Structure 1
């Protein structure tokens, strides 16, 4: 076999592997992941409770660019990794995935990929677009069901959160995968019906200050909304500020970067008219 044929065969094998694994990431993503894991090693984070690991890894992302719709960049559902630009969900997801890798003492990039799939998809298994946990209340439910975390909202003072969830199936033009795909839209609608049938709790915005002392740095915060058909509109990580109050570490919006809110969490929620309260997941 001459060198040209060998090179072509090698490139073909790379392409086949890429398609089979349905993974999308760059060398820069691998480098960022390794840097985070090296940070954990240097600071002996594995010996800390997982909420503290989540806090420290989350803080290490401060200054990272916000980038929307990074999970929608391929036609077919793929395991997309983008640590260079994060939205509010992918920031939380990446932080929890890294923390779990550190706690499990398996800090290879392959372990990180597996953890992302485990967190992003129903039953930890990528089986197309509908298998992704698009709604954050569904993500919280799934994490509790599989023992990854505990929804502590009710026990810290939450009240029932009753809402009909149908935003995706009612706004198909906003999702390129749903725009001309009735079968997939019907699958999403079934999932929405299941979410709507569950019993959820939330802490209304006026009660957050009252229960603030029950929150730990590293708790995962889902911010509920009054937008019709939508459960949670924003996510982040609880962190205790220098003022002794709980603030939100988050990827805030287009054109901004990962940051800690200047206002404490309670006041931050109250300053946004479409934010009605919070759900809280504590990672095990």
Structure 2
């Protein structure tokens, strides 16, 4: 376990919301933000976001898996959380996408607010709770390219946040009708791999009512073949790992593919 230094850095957020906000960033996270930006983002080719995503995400390999790190609910005020000590599959993507666009730590905080929240408003009900929010809700993080990856994609209309019994996963959010495109897992083959690009954001589609995905990760082509870089909750992992892509998705309902803008 990492020893946490007592220093807490207070980052003032200006111009990101109606009122100035503050985020507490521990010294480990602050140091890592600065190192990644200086060593991976600034030297990177801005015309090739996929390579920057690959290099940034590599810095998180081995980071422990930690669920429920974000603070906020329908009854608890939302707080901007920035913590690299433990990640779940979605905060992993939040941090990678925000870092790859940043020039310094303050820029990262501003980008994270835009990445995580609809219209940059720090509020629980404004969180981009669903993977496909990234390609449909402002500020857009990515483009849905699922139908460009394979002609075998399936399109279905889902009422996100609406459970099969009529209840809501997130009370107060309401039902969001959205067309979802996914490639069935048994159709993900070498031809699909050829059309994927390193840095593509991958959502593992679910047939469950009210949800679009149950897991997320990043497609990375490595010397050992195609991988899904993901914050894994599996007991055998419990950290950010590279999982062989085809083996991982072949028995899943399918994949949704978003590409960074």
TM value normalised by structure 2? 0.81
Q: 1:48 to 1:63 in 2, by over 3 A?
A: farther
- Count of aligned positions: 237
Q: Choose which of 151, 159, 167 in structure 1 pairs with 2:154.
A: 159
Aligned to 2:16: none
Contact 2:41/2:52 (8 A) holds in 1:
no
Structure 1 segment 101-250 matched on structure 2, within 5 A:
101=102, 106=103, 108-126=104-122, 128-142=123-137, 146=139, 148-157=141-150, 158-166=153-161, 170=167, 185-186=171-172, 188-189=173-174, 193-194=175-176, 196=177, 198-209=178-189, 210-244=191-225, 246-250=226-230
Ranges in structure 2 where 5+ consecutive residues have no aligned partner: 1-9, 14-18
Contact 2:72/2:78 (8 A) holds in 1:
no
Query: How far apart, in 1, do the equivalents of 2:38 and 2:255 lie?
Result: 33
Deviation readout 1:249-269 (Å, 9 max, x if unpaired): 0001166111100x3x23212
Q: CA RMSD in A?
A: 2.6
User: How far does residue 39 in structure 1 lie from its aligned partner after superposition?
Assistant: 1.9
Query: How far apart, in 2, do the equivalents of 1:73 and 1:31 lie?
Result: 26
User: How far does residue 146 in structure 1 lie from its aligned partner after superposition?
Assistant: 4.3
Query: How far apart, in 2, do the equivalents of 1:139 and 1:24 lie?
Result: 25
Contact 2:114/2:139 (8 A) holds in 1:
no
Aligned to 2:36: 36
User: How far does residue 135 in structure 1 lie from its aligned partner after superposition?
Assistant: 1.2
Query: How far apart, in 1, do the equivalents of 2:227 and 2:57 lie?
Result: 13
Deviation readout 1:158-189 (Å, 9 max, x if unpaired): 220333323578366xxxxx6xxxxxx23x11
Ranges in structure 1 where 5+ consecutive residues have no aligned partner: 1-13, 173-177, 179-184
Deviation readout 1:124-147 (Å, 9 max, x if unpaired): 222x210111111222322xx645
Contact 2:203/2:257 (8 A) holds in 1:
yes
Contact 2:118/2:139 (8 A) holds in 1:
no
Query: How far apart, in 1, do the equivalents of 2:134 and 2:47 lie?
Result: 25
Query: How far apart, in 2, do the equivalents of 1:199 and 1:53 lie?
Result: 30
Q: Tell me, what secondary structure is at the counterpart of 2:227?
A: strand
More strand by share: 2
Contact 1:34/1:109 (8 A) holds in 2:
yes
Structure 1 segment 258-277 matched on structure 2, within 5 A:
258-261=240-243, 263=244, 265-271=245-251, 275-277=252-254
Contact 1:136/1:222 (8 A) holds in 2:
yes
TM value normalised by structure 1? 0.75
